[in-house]
Structure 1
Amino acid sequence: MDKQILIDLVTKTMPYGKYKGRLLCDIPEHYLVWMHGQGFPEGKLGMWLHTLYEIRLNGLEGILVELRRTYSKIY
């Protein structure tokens, strides 16, 4: 996996919808499950959300914790 994708998950915000302005890593799991059923959007946003869905599905949220601590100081 490209480390930049993980960095993007802790630094980029949702551009629209109910969770507009929230960091991608803070989007609730139920929304990701719903979006998985509807189909993720095209492009980078869809890739980021799908990656976050897979991280949550597999219980790997811990990999984002340290990145968030590190990159929240930078951004």
Structure 2
Amino acid sequence: MSDEIPQPNTEILKELIVYRMPFGKYKDWLITDLPVSYLEWFEREGFPAGKLGMLLSTMYEIRLNDLMFLIDGLKKIYRR
């Protein structure tokens, strides 16, 4: 059994910070800025296929598990 702590994939975290919602009520909102209720709706109804669905489900898990600290520092770097 390894004692290594898994590290987050920073490329996915960077994508969350710059990727914009391509459709719907929150079109053009950054994924990290989407309301939790919107992410919860997708969780209930099903996330879209592909990259967008992966990013939305990742953001949902981050919010659900109170892990926003993982991207807070990156926001300062990549949002200029």
Shared fold per TM-score greater than 0.5: yes
Match of 1:2 in 2: 9
Unpaired stretches in structure 2, ≥5 consecutive residues: 1-7
Q: TM-score, normalised by structure 2?
A: 0.87
Larger Rg: 1 or 2? 2
Matched, 1:35 2:42: yes
Distance in 2 (CA, whole Å) between partners of 1:26 and 1:19 is 9
User: Residues 60-75 of structure 1: matches in 2 within 5 Å?
Assistant: 60-73=67-80
Task: Give the alignment partner of residue 44 of structure 1, picking from 51, 66, 69.
Answer: 51
Q: Give the TM-score of the pair, scaled to structure 1.
A: 0.93
List runs of 5+ in structure 1 lacking aligned partners.
none
The answer to whether the aligner puts 1:22 opposite 2:29 as a matched pair is yes
How many pairs are equivalent? Answer: 73
User: Any runs of at least 4 consecutive aligned residues in structure 1 with deviations exceeding 6 A, and if so which?
Assistant: none
Q: Does 1:59 align with 2:70?
A: no
Could you say what the CA RMSD is over the residues aligned between the two structures, in angstroms? 0.8
Q: Say which SS state the counterpart of residue 29 (structure 2) adopts.
A: coil
Normalized per residue, the structure richer in helix is: 1
Measure the CA separation in 2 of the matches of 1:65 and 1:53: 15
AA aligned opposite 1:14: M
